[in-house]
Amino acid sequence: MSGSVPAKRCPDRPNTAPARRAGIVAYLIAIAAMPGAVFGVLRYDPVAFTPRSAESFEHRADGGHAGGALSMAAGEYVSVSSQADTEAADLARERGELATQPDAELAELTQIYVDRGLTEDLAREVAQQLTERDAFAAHARDELSISSVTTARPLQAALASAATFTAGAALPLIAV
């Protein structure tokens, strides 16, 4: 089969792709980073250049593990918060455009449906009905691709990132 088939999205299920992406990235970073931390920095005292005691090693490995998880969570939170801020700005701009130029916005929504394969008449009818029902929701969903199930969720992404970093970092620690 040539080309890709767009994924079907169930409208009542949240979009978990950002959290899954955050989790996968954190897991892979943990697997890559922890062996270096465990065998390099944590194994030897940087001042005396001598091996650390086993107890000191375990405490430092646990600290590296926790620090890595917190670092991944903080980074993901900031990244996804930026996405949420962008979405909020887009929604505010759209609300303003709906208030100041409703006819242009109706034409824009109609064109979106024509581009998706509806006839001009049917597209205009759909756009009018959706505009009458909730113009802002229709534009947010169909023009901006933002809905309550696809909106950025910084806390969810941060928790997923921390949890999967923890799981990924456990693998090299178990091997030690």
The answer to whether residue 42 sits within a structural domain is yes
- Residues 78-102: pLDDT tens digits? 888 888 888 898 899 999 999 999 9
pLDDT category of residue 77 using cuts at 50, 70 and 90: confident
The answer to whether residue 128 sits within a structural domain is yes
The Cβ of residue 66 has, within 10 Å, a number of other Cβ atoms equal to: 14
Q: Which two tokens stand for residue 135?
A: 């113009």
Q: Which two tokens stand for residue 7?
A: 């994924």
Contact by Cβ (8 Å): 116, 142: no
Number of domains in the chain: 1
The answer to whether residue 1 sits within a structural domain is no
Q: What is the pLDDT of residue 137?
A: 94
The answer to whether residue 8 sits within a structural domain is no
Q: Which of 29-33, 43-47, 60-64 has the lowest mean pLDDT?
A: 43-47
The answer to whether residue 3 sits within a structural domain is no
pTM of the model: 0.60
Residue 79 to residue 156: CA distance in whole angstroms: 12
Contact by Cβ (8 Å): 161, 64: no
The answer to whether residue 2 sits within a structural domain is no
The answer to whether residue 61 sits within a structural domain is yes
The answer to whether residue 86 sits within a structural domain is yes
Contact by Cβ (8 Å): 157, 80: yes
Judged by DSSP in three states, 16 sits in coil
Judged by DSSP in three states, 36 sits in helix
